[in-house]
Amino acid sequence: MDYMDRHEVSAADRRLLVPMLRSSDDGAATEFWRRGGQGRVIERMVRKVGLEDTAPPPAEKPGFWGYTALSARDVVRMYRYLLDEAPEGQREFVLQQLRRSTPCGTDGFDQTFGIPRAVRRPWAVKQGWSGFGETPAEPCHVRPAAWRPDLGLGRPVLHTTGVVGDRIVVVLTLHPAGTSFRTAAARITSLTRQVARA
């Protein structure tokens, strides 16, 4: 959203934004991170949205957007901003992409954990993961056209966030080193079911 706030979005930009939002394309995310000044992207959004628990990556990892500190509370604030305050065109574009989340990320990881597996549509989701290696042990069965390696940023992480009907659902998880993707996906899906029932 930071890039869309500050630039007229071109057709070339859309060709990066669509797979970034639908298929968790790390290459596209890294390109927008670079264009926005890396950690300055986070600093601007913290000010704009009033985020309290979000900070740029540590100084020793400035190029790694995946090391951005965040909390479930701040992710909810981002969704509230998107739903209630973002310009209508921006809101509709982002939500349209999140509603069309692909089963597989561009790196071959399955994106159907959490909300997509635990809750019936309508939903609009953005998934996140790291720490499971550059390629999945069990590749997703439907691979998107574009494929790029995962950045492999450390300890296993799975996040599922989105809008489910009229509710915002955010489940962020950090798993012990060595946890398989399958095990982590089962855990976050079970947690998401519990959150969705609450």
For the chain, domain boundaries: 2-197
Q: In the prediction, which pLDDT does 175 show?
A: 87
Q: What is the rounded CA–CA span in Å between residue 150 and residue 105?
A: 9
Q: What is the pLDDT of residue 144?
A: 44
Nearest-angstrom CA–CA distance, 43 and 56 = 7
What local confidence, expressed as pLDDT, does residue 3 receive?
Answer: 96
User: What's at 10, amino acid-wise?
Assistant: S
Could you count the other beta carbons within 10 Å of the beta carbon of residue 6?
A: 11
Tell me the CA distances in angstroms from 42 to 88, 123, 127, 193, one per residue in order. 22, 26, 18, 30
Which of the four CATH numbers 4.10.91.20, 3.40.50.150, 3.40.710.10, 3.40.50.300 does domain 2-197 have? 3.40.710.10
> Each residue's pLDDT tens digit in the chain (198 positions)?
999 999 999 999 999 999 999 999 999 999 999 999 999 999 999 999 999 999 999 988 888 999 999 999 999 999 999 999 999 999 999 999 999 999 999 999 999 999 999 998 999 999 999 989 988 998 897 644 443 433 345 678 999 999 998 899 999 998 888 899 999 999 999 999 999 888
Q: In 24-125, which ranges are continuous DSSP H helix?
A: 26-35, 39-49, 72-84, 88-99, 115-118
Q: What is the dihedral of CA 59, 60, 64, 66, to 10 degrees?
A: -80
Contact 47, 38 (CB under 8 A): no
Check if the beta carbon of residue 116 is closer than 8 Å to that of residue 125: yes
What pTM was computed for the model?
A: 0.78
